[in-house]
Structure 1
Amino acid sequence: MKTSIKILLCLSFLALTLSGCGTENEPEEEINREIIWQDEFDVNGSVDSDRWIFDIGTGEEIFGQPGWGNNEQQYYTDRPENVRVEDGMLQITAREESFEGSSYTSAKILTRGTFERTFGRFEARIQLPFGQGIWPAFWLLGDDSNGTEIWPQIGEIDIMEYRGQEPTVIHGSVHGPGYSAGNAVTSRYTLTNGRFDTEFHVFAIEWGPDFIRYYVDDTLYNEITPDDVNGEWVFNDNTFYIILNVAVGGTFVGPPSSLTPFPQTMMVDYVRVYDLEN
């Protein structure tokens, strides 16, 4: 069902500052945008199988070794202990437990094959977990179903990545050929008040043919264009699917410590995709 929802957008972009928008000297405009896909997580139980599928395991069958290509330490499952919908929230929970040869479990859900799109506003309202070595993410990956294109040629848009040991900082990035992994084009946003693990925040991108704009709570904090990447801009021709996951350990965050509390849960209120054409 398509629903029209009003959202506020800033008309001016304060380049790479965190001062926000909508001051007395910066007019705001109401724009009617059409939701083209959404999950409000309003039915208790498992995630909606018409919207989401699961990645299961350690990634060894894909990458030739465990760790999903990032030295991660969790085993992804579809068990209710790791992923469920309850009281209007998606809950993805990382646990410290021995399971199928791994020391941790968690979950990763994605819309590969159920919803894929080029361009739009992608947003989710999330409360993040906390702790050294906890790595939640809300991101998009280019369609890899034909088996001929591989990462980073397919493209990756990280709407939100977060190190659990830095509860006031999130990162937004793009990966492509020539600018992937440690060479990704990235920017960070720091909360001046509050923490990402103690309250909900809205993480979003607006993605068009020659831009990807990053928002936290409708504050525009970064814009990436073809001029910013050291390689081919791969975000026009491919469709991308949505991913939500909580990893444990990995190159981005390092391993958990003895002080990392478990279990740790990422709470997702909703995920919505809007058409930017209206």
Structure 2
Amino acid sequence: MKNIFKNKLQFKVLFCLSFIIFLSCDTDETQTVATLNNLVWADEFDTNGTPDSGKWNLLTGDGTAQGIPGWGNNELQTYTDRSDNVTVQNGVLIITAKEEDFQGKSYTSARITTKGKLDQQYGRFEARIKLPTGKGIFPAFWLLGDDNNGSLVWPQIGEIDIMEFLGDEPTTVFGTIHGPNYSGANSITKKYEIQNDRFDTGFHVFGVEWTPNQINWYVDGDLYQSITPADVSEETDGTGEWVFNRPFHIILNVAVGGNLPGSPNAETDFPQRMLVDYVRVYN
């Protein structure tokens, strides 16, 4: 049952606390980010069944059809649009990773995107999510840049990982960007470690606020990373290009195996589910 942000008083209190946190940061850019409170798009997942086709695309396959087998990470799953792998029930989006033989793969899961339905340049993107667990389980909430009708390829299009999670590290999430000369294992990233809690036992709010010259990462309203063009230049000895100046779309998925996080082991239980209470976008 949804029990957060539905009560208007709770929402106002949380917003005010978040605003205070934002203002405590000492850069003008961060203070500007605090004004991004105009809700422009949302999915509250209030209708049971298949995710809203007016908002989401359901990708299928193992990436081969897109020219990136293993989805660029040598992953072990194939994505499907079956209700076994992706459905909305009781106000929650459920993405389920299963161990099963399907289309030549040993695992199935789901990946949904807003490409062509919501492609937004700048704003605050956030989701309230309960994460799955286990070695080899790799859920993510992320943004991918516009490919200019196919003329650009990754990492030139840019990638903003709002939240990535390794199922065998239940107290830690990552916030990351990928671009030219800082992609894959050389991406610019930072961990957030939760105190006295785990990300697989309850819902948490993951978000970024993205402006022309800064991206900020938050977990439950806590700012834990800020990256600017100057940071990219410093991290790459001047070779990195800031490519976060085009529309991006949202992706939610649960991968299984791959270069990161490695394969499941005998202790990994299936099925594993990522639960998403809502996704909201502000400007």
Q: Which residue is equivalent to 2:225?
A: 222
CA-to-aligned-CA distance 1:170-222 (integer Å, 9 cap, x gap): 00000000100011010000011110000100000000010000000000000
Matched, 1:267 2:275: yes
Aligned residue pair count: 256
Given residue 244 of structure 2, which amino acid in structure 1 is its aligned partner? F
| TM-score (normalizing by structure 2) | 0.87
Paired with 2:177 and 2:275, the residues of 1 have a C-alpha distance of 24
RMSD of aligned residue pairs (Cα, Å): 1.7
Paired with 1:254 and 1:14, the residues of 2 have a C-alpha distance of 39
Unaligned runs of 5+ in 2: 1-7, 28-33
Given residue 56 of structure 1, which amino acid in structure 2 is its aligned partner? T
- Alpha-carbon deviation of 1:70? 0.3
Segment of structure 1 superposing worse, 251-260 or 154-163: 251-260
Query: Is 2:36–2:124's contact at 8 Å kept on the other side of the alignment?
Result: no
Paired with 2:129 and 2:107, the residues of 1 have a C-alpha distance of 22
Q: Which residue is equivalent to 1:86?
A: 89
Match of 1:43 among 43, 47, 68: 47
Given residue 263 of structure 1, which amino acid in structure 2 is its aligned partner? P
- Alpha-carbon deviation of 1:251? 1.2
| TM-score (normalizing by structure 1) | 0.89
CA-to-aligned-CA distance 1:54-104 (integer Å, 9 cap, x gap): 11100012235x311101000100000000000000000000000000000
Query: Is 1:63–1:69's contact at 8 Å kept on the other side of the alignment?
Result: no
Q: Identity over the aligned pairs, expressed in percent?
A: 57
Paired with 2:128 and 2:228, the residues of 1 have a C-alpha distance of 25
Unaligned runs of 5+ in 1: 16-29
Paired with 1:180 and 1:145, the residues of 2 have a C-alpha distance of 19
Paired with 1:58 and 1:14, the residues of 2 have a C-alpha distance of 44
Match of 2:257 among 243, 249, 253: 249
Query: Is 2:81–2:110's contact at 8 Å kept on the other side of the alignment?
Result: yes
Query: Is 1:185–1:228's contact at 8 Å kept on the other side of the alignment?
Result: no
Paired with 1:271 and 1:48, the residues of 2 have a C-alpha distance of 13
Paired with 1:137 and 1:32, the residues of 2 have a C-alpha distance of 23
Change (3 A) 1:132 1:32: closer
Q: Which residue is equivalent to 2:67?
A: 63
Paired with 1:157 and 1:31, the residues of 2 have a C-alpha distance of 21
Matched, 1:232 2:237: no
Question: 3-state DSSP class of the match of 1:68?
Answer: helix
Higher helix share: 2
Query: Is 2:36–2:123's contact at 8 Å kept on the other side of the alignment?
Result: no
Paired with 2:35 and 2:227, the residues of 1 have a C-alpha distance of 23
Given residue 251 of structure 1, which amino acid in structure 2 is its aligned partner? N
